[in-house]
């Protein structure tokens, strides 16, 4: 059995305030790519994780790994005595603002729910996902959603105009700490995210973490400028806390042309040519 861990993007991300518990209250619109990491499972007497792929070597595979934490939480919640040999093909860069670890944990919950024949249901899986991280509930659904609170309170949002839209993700090859980026936020509330649909969030929204991220990793500005200069790019934004940025394109040909040009100019930059998940 296998499951895809779909890459997450934030079409907009408004930071409203820092709560007394230290977390930041945000308003965001999540969308997901068709592609991402891939998680496979085979029968085993123990619960184990092996990782491979371009970024597999950088991941810890011990008990502090989010995939194993998700798997163990699911097993404990339902009293599962079986093990599982998990194998992660890691193609999304870690610490890059596109939900890599959160998406992997969410994929583990979906995959093991089927593998262990639990039929747990979304509500039970959400209860397990929420303590694992603010983005894990959205990644569990892996569909366009509006998120509030820490991002874990989800509600549907109309995304018809952007479904299957060609998408290019670009990262300058620099990992970025979410905590460090939030610490650099200037604490100015620039207003709510007043968007009725996902397309409007792209036009009227913003990413309040971008200035902080760009101060830490100036190359983010270079990536965004390069994407904005690409023919056919209709929207450009940084995702999450960075450093990955994205552009939506009118058609796949213009997206692929942009990818080829950027690869020629900046071969060290990571890229993923995909589409918005429909």
Distances (CA, A) of 243 to 11, 106, 120, 222: 14, 22, 35, 11
Q: Compute the distance between CA of residue 218 and CA of residue 234 in angstroms, rounded to an integer.
A: 23
Backbone angles phi, psi at 227, to 5 degrees: -65, -40
Among residues 106, 157, 107, the alpha carbon closest in space to that of 133 is found at 106
Strands (E), 166-232: 166-171
Backbone angles phi, psi at 90, to 5 degrees: -95, 105
Residues contacting 260, CB < 8 A, separation 6+: none
Backbone angles phi, psi at 153, to 5 degrees: -90, 115
Among residues 166, 165, 147, the alpha carbon closest in space to that of 156 is found at 147
For 88: left if phi > 0, alpha if psi spans -120 to 50, otherwise beta; the answer is beta
Strand partners, 274: 167
- Annotated catalytic residues are 8, 135
Distances (CA, A) of 87 to 54, 67, 104, 259: 14, 10, 11, 29
Strand partners, 12: 29
């Amino acid at each position: 059995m296998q499951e895809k861990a779909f890459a997450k993007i934030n079409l907009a991300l408004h930071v409203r305030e820092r709560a007394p518990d230290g977390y930041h209250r945000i308003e965001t619109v999540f969308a997901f790519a068709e592609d991402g990491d891939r998680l496979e499972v085979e029968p085993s007497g123990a619960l184990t994780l092996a990782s491979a792929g371009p970024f597999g070597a950088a991941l810890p595979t011990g008990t502090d790994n989010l995939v194993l934490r998700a798997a163990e939480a699911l097993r404990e919640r339902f009293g599962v005595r079986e093990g599982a040999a998990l194998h992660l093909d890691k193609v999304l860069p870690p610490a890059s603002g596109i939900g890599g670890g959160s998406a992997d944990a969410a994929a583990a919950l979906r995959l093991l729910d089927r593998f262990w024949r639990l039929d747990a249901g979304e509500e039970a899986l959400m209860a397990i996902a929420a303590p694992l991280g603010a983005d894990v509930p959205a990644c569990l659904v892996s569909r366009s959603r509006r998120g509030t609170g820490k991002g874990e309170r989800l509600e549907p949002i109309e995304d018809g105009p952007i479904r299957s839209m060609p998408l290019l993700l670009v990262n300058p090859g620099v990992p970025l700490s979410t905590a460090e980026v939030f610490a650099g936020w200037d604490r100015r509330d620039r207003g709510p995210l007043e968007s009725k649909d996902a397309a409007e969030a792209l036009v009227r929204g913003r990413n309040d973490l971008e200035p902080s991220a760009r101060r830490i990793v100036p190359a983010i500005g270079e990536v965004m400028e390069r994407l904005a200069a690409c023919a056919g790019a209709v929207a450009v934004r940084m995702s999450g806390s960075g450093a990955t940025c994205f552009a939506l394109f009118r058609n796949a040909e213009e997206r692929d042309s942009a990818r080829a040009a950027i690869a020629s100019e900046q071969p060290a930059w990571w890229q993923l040519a995909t589409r918005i998940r429909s």
